[in-house]
């Protein structure tokens, strides 16, 4: 079957760095996405990786290792507004997104 | 309007009733999707449409139907609602099938009693 695993919840301190991991087993691979979802709101796109390596976009970076079925999202200089759920999703061989349950990130002052 | 709109924002529905959730996008995206989101579970694809006039089944299509008469609209119908369909429903769109960012509507919170 297809499976996306990520931690249920993480806590970090304002100004610090946090890494949210995602492992996946899917039928085919056409890229990995990270989305941010604030409570009660819609998911919004953060990043897309299809090749191995690190993609950096401001305070956020995303890493992919296809051979290990592994990705992480790195958030630097954490701000209170970064408190949200972070969703990992893999596009499978049918070009459909398979979603993880999300990681709720709590930022403490 | 800009982006994707959904209606209603929330709804309480008696079991057995018919309900249509509306979704409209103004980005001229070819592909549209319906997901449900339940606590502790990832988003699950109900139905999708890669282009106007075509639809396909996702992971959890039973009890739901869709139509895509034009590019902008993609309504989701529950023919006879059951309590297990209580969920938050998100409509999304992308330029095309494949490795494209999906844009999400604000969601519809549906409670079936």
Question: 3-state SS of A44-104?
Answer: EEEEEECCCEEEEECCEEEEEECCCCEEEEEECCCCHHHCEEEEEEEECCCCCEEECCCEE
pLDDT in tens, B41-72: 989 999 999 999 999 999 999 999 999 999 99
What's the pLDDT at B99? 66
Nearest to residue A60, comparing CAs of A22, A32, A21, A19?
A: A19
Does A41 contact B at CB distance below 8 Å? yes
In sequence order, which residues have a C-beta less than 8 Å from that of residue A20 and are 6 or more positions away?
Answer: A6, A7, A10, A72, A73, A74, A75, A86, A88, A103, A105
Contact check, Cβ <8 Å, A42/B105: yes
By CB atoms closer than 10 A (0-12, 13-18, 19+), residue B56 is: middle
Chain B residues near residue A36 by CB distance under 8 angstroms: none
In this prediction, residues B90-108 reach a mean pLDDT of: 92
Does A7 contact B at CB distance below 8 Å? no
- Does B34 score more than 80 pLDDT? yes
* B89, closest residue in chain A (CA to CA): A42
* A90, closest residue in chain B (CA to CA): B99
- DSSP letter at B24? E
Tell me how far apart the alpha carbons of residues B23 and B21 are, in angstroms, rounded to a whole number: 7
pLDDT in tens, A16-62: 999 999 999 998 999 999 999 999 999 999 999 999 999 999 999 99
Tell me how far apart the alpha carbons of residues B112 and B11 are, in angstroms, rounded to a whole number: 8
What's the pLDDT at B52? 96
Contact check, Cβ <8 Å, A42/B104: yes
What's the pLDDT at A2? 85
């Amino acid at each position: 079957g297809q499976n996306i695993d990520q931690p249920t919840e993480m806590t970090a301190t304002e100004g610090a760095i946090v890494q949210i991991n995602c492992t996946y087993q899917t039928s085919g691979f056409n890229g990995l996405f990270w989305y941010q979802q604030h409570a009660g709101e819609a998911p919004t796109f953060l990043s897309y990786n299809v090749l191995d390596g690190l993609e950096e976009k401001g305070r956020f970076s995303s890493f992919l290792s296809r051979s290990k079925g592994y990705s992480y999202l790195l958030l630097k200089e954490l701000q209170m507004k970064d408190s949200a759920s972070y969703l990992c999703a893999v596009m499978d061989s049918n070009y459909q997104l398979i979603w993880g349950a999300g990681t709720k990130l709590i930022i403490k002052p | 309007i800009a982006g994707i709109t959904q209606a209603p924002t929330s709804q309480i529905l008696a079991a057995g009733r018919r309900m249509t959730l509306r979704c409209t996008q103004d980005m001229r995206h070819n592909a549209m999707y319906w997901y449900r989101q339940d606590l502790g579970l990832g988003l699950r694809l109900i139905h999708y449409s890669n282009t106007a006039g075509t639809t396909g089944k996702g992971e959890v299509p039973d009890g739901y139907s869709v139509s895509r008469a034009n590019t902008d609209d993609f309504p989701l119908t529950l023919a006879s609602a059951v309590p297990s369909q209580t969920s938050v429903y998100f409509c999304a769109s992308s330029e095309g099938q494949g490795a494209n960012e999906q844009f999400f509507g604000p969601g519809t919170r549906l409670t079936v009693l």
